[in-house]
Structure 1
């Protein structure tokens, strides 16, 4: 029986080489981007893992040493696999390495029914972009494209020629070569096997151009000191942490002196005239990014989140999946806002339901939100504040009252409302937008001197918030101002890449509070 074997002609092989180079381009680009992105981590991807191996991948993200190793292997695996495919160097090793890496990506987030459709770009019901590239590499592994066109072919020819010379019997006269060669390899063959180098050069030029473009953008930004934009910054990792963040006590609960503010995480942003900020915050803080921010904060010693009650389901998922033990102080807001931003109180039963939900969601402490307390006190709705506080106290949790206006705190003290802690804004007015005659989302502590003076007389712990005036003040200045003027804790909204710097700044501020008049109440 005669069997017809299908043979690839050179055109077929060149097409397969082109496919190999394209995949190599993708791997190499992904690796270089991750290498050059300050603070890049696979934590978010791992925490967002789904499928039957989600616990395994999430566990990697929770262990700092393992995560560091995963980040290193991921970056350099992509780069080395990309170079191998690009150049046809150790091609089969690169192909199987790529297959292994893509298999891990596929298993971490398999495109099953729940992970396909809108919002899951690149996932097409069991088939994903990773799977398509993986399949292409499997096909390529059956063809020796590296020996056909690549450094593998050059190395193979070199050793083959050497072997022939060693095994060839001695002759008195050697015929002259038909054309110049390099160590027995014809120059034309050398050029053919190095054909992908110009493509790699084009790739390198493209990456360099992109970096140059970023550099040009940086140079066009305003100066970090005199302008409203930061010129450039360095993202610091956990290894740059300067020390251990101290803790304080509220009632019978222990909290870190710096508390993670939840506005950015829950989609609330004081953006002044920057109309894109709220959308940017919501786009950046996906669930996986929120989890990653929690974990970075915990690794740096921040053990408490203070946030609106809407974050309850998210923090519960964080706990239930074993990602961490971040505590939760619930900001119990009881106001509705109309189209003009004018507040009105929620019906009492609705407000009580909000407080109950915060307790059921596992809040470590609760407080009457600042604007709510300001409004309720100004409109003499004292019984509603007392009812909400009694509910928290009956649950055995620390209960507090917040305020933007010091008159609210004064009135609460005058009424004899018993709290376990206070939440009060604190910042000075030495920034440009504070000079506006009317309020335009530009000021949150209206009488800082009166605040400092009155809060000094109170025996309960004080958590100072809005200390950065919603981003108008630098942490180096604001943290020191808050601790020096009586705050026992500071609540700071921050992105994941700011955590290490902010903790280090808080440590410096805590060490330089010799001028503090108020006793530490926590």
Structure 2
């Protein structure tokens, strides 16, 4: 038994199956496109890939060629036919994938594959094909059958009967890949039949999001201070791994698992391409945003939420740190505004606002309970903009209004379904509307979907109609284009708004 030949055969078949299944999965998907993959490319050659992904006519060529290439290369390697051509073609294709997201230069950051530098799976597989290309032994395959060979001659030293016997034996071995392909292919077909798409390859999974090519119109902008920002702002909770999920205790960890650093960067790049030019983040995300802007050269505007250090009576420490991180706008965090008003420490809010402005920065003030903003207003504390939770309460998990208590958001979670349990964030919608209507500075609505209880079409419309000048929405990558399109559609046909636009 030729062990070397057997090892090479399995080596070649494994690579071939990887190519073949990737191609078949994309073919079975029907609407698969590499446009998003290309338009979000990073690194020194991103301009070329972005150019390809941004052209519908070019993608009509690139997509079928990509699929056909994967399938043909896979078949060639798996069956052992045209091995040399398949190996060279595979190397070229893998290097194209490699340089779309190279693990160096502009894209040296952690990814779903791990922390990478220079070497990733595409480069490793390309090198494996180089080995297969240069070694003389190619393993068993149908290339070795007589009708695929030219000028085949009988051995002069081996008797004809023995040669025929050996040929039959080798033919059986070389044909062994055919039933193997049938078995594996049948399993792949059943997997596709059950789940609709390949469930193992991250490159082929789709979750129903719209592609950047489906963007409809340009997202309108407004002004807060000297900053021109998009009417739709991306929220930082999902990126930071914080989720309001009622009693679903695993959701925050799920977001953290999905939003790897690479995925966050991809999401932000997609958001910027779609016209979302601002993000509102929790303080712990500042370091990541600084890294993102440094690596990509992004001009995205960062609004940083800050809290006082009450234990050490240092109200300004996080303001100064946020400025050092290079943020654009500084905002007193919503839950801290509520707690300070509740505990009769409005003086701390005033000092923080003065500190932000003294450093030359736009100062925002956020809250969940409208009573906090009313109390600040009565004390003459008017920010450059308000950030207020803005959603209606016409959804199933909202507890009765008669049982709602000011400042209970971010407080105790009750087991009684008729009490607060991380389920509502704009406790008194009518009171909020009344406050927003008389506000003379821009208002940024947040939690407009009540953390997923309200549809974007409903929540966006309600917030804009009732006076929000901007909305801040937590978005995963596959939601961005749809949310931008929804915002554009609502703003283009908005009815019932009586408050003038600020900013």
TM-score range (shorter-chain normalised) is 0.7 to 0.9
**How many pairs does the alignment contain?**
455
Corresponding residue for residue 307 of structure 1: 281
Aligned positions of 1:344-359 closer than 5 A: 345-349=310-314, 351-359=315-323
- The change in CA–CA distance for 1:213 and 1:256 in structure 2 (over 3 A counts) is same
Is 1:24 aligned to 2:16, yes or no?
yes
- The change in CA–CA distance for 1:243 and 1:437 in structure 2 (over 3 A counts) is same
Q: CA deviation at 1:463?
A: 0.2
Corresponding residue for residue 408 of structure 1: 372
Corresponding residue for residue 368 of structure 1: 332
Greater C-alpha radius of gyration:
1
Aligned positions of 1:470-485 closer than 5 A: 470-485=451-466
Please say if residues 390 and 432 of structure 2, whose CA atoms lie closer than 8 Å, have aligned partners that are also in contact: yes
Aligned positions of 1:43-442 closer than 5 A: 47=42, 55-56=43-44, 65=53, 72=63, 77-101=69-93, 108-109=102-103, 133-134=125-126, 136-142=128-134, 149-150=141-142, 156-157=148-149, 195-215=176-196, 234-334=208-308, 345-349=310-314, 351-435=315-399, 436-442=417-423
Query: Which sits farther off after the overlay, 321-330 or 499-508?
Result: 321-330
Q: CA deviation at 1:28?
A: 2.3
Q: CA deviation at 1:211?
A: 2.0
CA distance in 2, matches of 1:89, 1:486: 67
Q: What SS does the corresponding residue of 1:503 show, helix, strand or coil?
A: helix
Gaps of 5+ in 1: 1-8, 48-54, 165-185, 219-231, 336-344
Q: What is the TM-score normalised by the length of structure 1?
A: 0.76
Deviations 1:24-76 (A, max 9, x none): 112323444566496775579965xxxxxxx4266667767389979957766
Please say if residues 258 and 492 of structure 1, whose CA atoms lie closer than 8 Å, have aligned partners that are also in contact: yes
Is 1:509 aligned to 2:484, yes or no?
no
- The change in CA–CA distance for 1:66 and 1:88 in structure 2 (over 3 A counts) is farther
Please say if residues 331 and 365 of structure 2, whose CA atoms lie closer than 8 Å, have aligned partners that are also in contact: yes
Please say if residues 191 and 198 of structure 2, whose CA atoms lie closer than 8 Å, have aligned partners that are also in contact: no
Higher-RCO chain (CA-CA 8 Å, sequence separation at least 6): 2
CA distance in 1, matches of 2:115, 2:427: 50
Q: CA deviation at 1:475?
A: 0.6
Please say if residues 247 and 254 of structure 1, whose CA atoms lie closer than 8 Å, have aligned partners that are also in contact: yes
Corresponding residue for residue 402 of structure 2: none
CA distance in 2, matches of 1:141, 1:237: 37
Match of 1:452 among 420, 425, 433: 433
CA distance in 2, matches of 1:431, 1:469: 9
Q: What SS does the corresponding residue of 1:514 show, helix, strand or coil?
A: coil
Q: What is the TM-score normalised by the length of structure 2?
A: 0.79
Q: CA deviation at 1:18?
A: 3.4
- The change in CA–CA distance for 1:115 and 1:474 in structure 2 (over 3 A counts) is closer
Corresponding residue for residue 176 of structure 1: none
Query: Which sits farther off after the overlay, 100-109 or 419-428?
Result: 100-109
Please say if residues 40 and 266 of structure 2, whose CA atoms lie closer than 8 Å, have aligned partners that are also in contact: no
CA distance in 2, matches of 1:217, 1:76: 17
Is 1:518 aligned to 2:499, yes or no?
yes
CA distance in 1, matches of 2:389, 2:257: 27
- The change in CA–CA distance for 1:42 and 1:457 in structure 2 (over 3 A counts) is same
- The change in CA–CA distance for 1:66 and 1:467 in structure 2 (over 3 A counts) is closer
CA distance in 1, matches of 2:275, 2:316: 33
Q: CA deviation at 1:190?
A: 8.7
Please say if residues 308 and 317 of structure 2, whose CA atoms lie closer than 8 Å, have aligned partners that are also in contact: no
Q: CA deviation at 1:146?
A: 7.0
Q: CA deviation at 1:387?
A: 1.6
CA distance in 1, matches of 2:502, 2:124: 61
- The change in CA–CA distance for 1:287 and 1:519 in structure 2 (over 3 A counts) is same
Deviations 1:257-310 (A, max 9, x none): 000000010111112111111111111111111110101001110000001121
Please say if residues 5 and 138 of structure 2, whose CA atoms lie closer than 8 Å, have aligned partners that are also in contact: no
Please give the root-mean-square deviation of Cα atoms over the aligned residues, in Å. 3.9
CA distance in 1, matches of 2:114, 2:296: 28
Deviations 1:380-429 (A, max 9, x none): 21221112111211222211111111111111111111311000001111
Q: What SS does the corresponding residue of 1:486 show, helix, strand or coil?
A: coil
Query: Which sits farther off after the overlay, 315-324 or 371-380?
Result: 315-324
Gaps of 5+ in 2: 154-166, 200-205, 400-416
Please say if residues 16 and 78 of structure 2, whose CA atoms lie closer than 8 Å, have aligned partners that are also in contact: yes
CA distance in 2, matches of 1:389, 1:115: 35
Q: CA deviation at 1:188?
A: 10
